[in-house]
Structure 1
Amino acid sequence: MSCHQCDESIFIQKLGRCYRCMAQLSLLSVIGWPLWWWFFAEHPKTVESIALLFFCVAFSGLLFLHLVFWWFYRIKNTVNRQHK
């Protein structure tokens, strides 16, 4: 990653602030889940199916964390603006 947030901050501070990470995770989730459904949903116990399923869960989980923190920062900034 080459954005300023990714170069200068620790992992927890990147969540919700790195739009490039969120875009990549969104794309990987949009590609991964249909791919798993079309090719491996009928045989979910194969090694390939389990591996792709773990990747899809990891992409979607990290995207979910990004979105939760993004929402948190937006709410926090809104509250801070109202108190000033």
Structure 2
Amino acid sequence: MTCKNCNSSLFQQKIGRCKSCMWQLTLLSLISWPLWWYFYADAPKQINSIALLFFCTAFTGLLSLHLLVLGYRTLIDWFNSKR
């Protein structure tokens, strides 16, 4: 996802820094997982269920990657400030 707050188009430079993208992914994850559970948990082999499950996993996976890199960068900055 791109946003107006990120000046760079490189994925490696934006991951873990773009707060608006992280909020969007959080909202999408919070909406998509309950939808899948309510509508498709009883029929996981339907094509609609598989598609929604794929998107739920993608949103949550990308959010997890953002949070992991954010924690890593915060920890590195904290260690560098202690020196």
TM-score calculated relative to the size of structure 1: 0.93
Deviation at 1:9, TM superposition (A): 4.1
Q: Deviations over 1:8-60 (max 9, x none)?
A: 24001111100000000000000000000000000000000000000000000
Which residue identity lines up with residue 2 of structure 1 in the other structure? K
User: Aligned with 2:4: secondary structure?
Assistant: coil
Q: Which runs of 5+ in 2 are unaligned?
A: none
Secondary structure of 1:8's aligned partner:
coil
SS in 2 for 1:45: coil
Q: Following superposition, which runs of at least 4 residues in structure 1 exceed 4 angstroms of deviation?
A: none
- Counterpart Cα distance in 2 of 1:60 and 1:27: 10
Question: Is residue 69 of structure 1 aligned with residue 69 of structure 2?
Answer: yes
* 1:2 alignment partner in structure 2: 4
Q: Per the alignment, in what secondary structure is the counterpart of residue 31 of structure 1? A: helix
Which structure shows the bigger proportion of residues in helix conformation? Answer: 1
Q: CA deviation at 1:61?
A: 0.2
Length-normalised TM-score, structure 2:
0.94
Number of the residue aligned with 1:50:
50
Letter in 2 for 1:16: G
Unpaired runs of 5+ residues, structure 1, are none
Q: Which amino acid in 2 is paired with 1:32?
A: S
Report percent identity of matched pairs.
51
2:18 is equivalent to residue 18 of structure 1:
yes
The 3-state SS of whatever aligns with 2:17 is coil
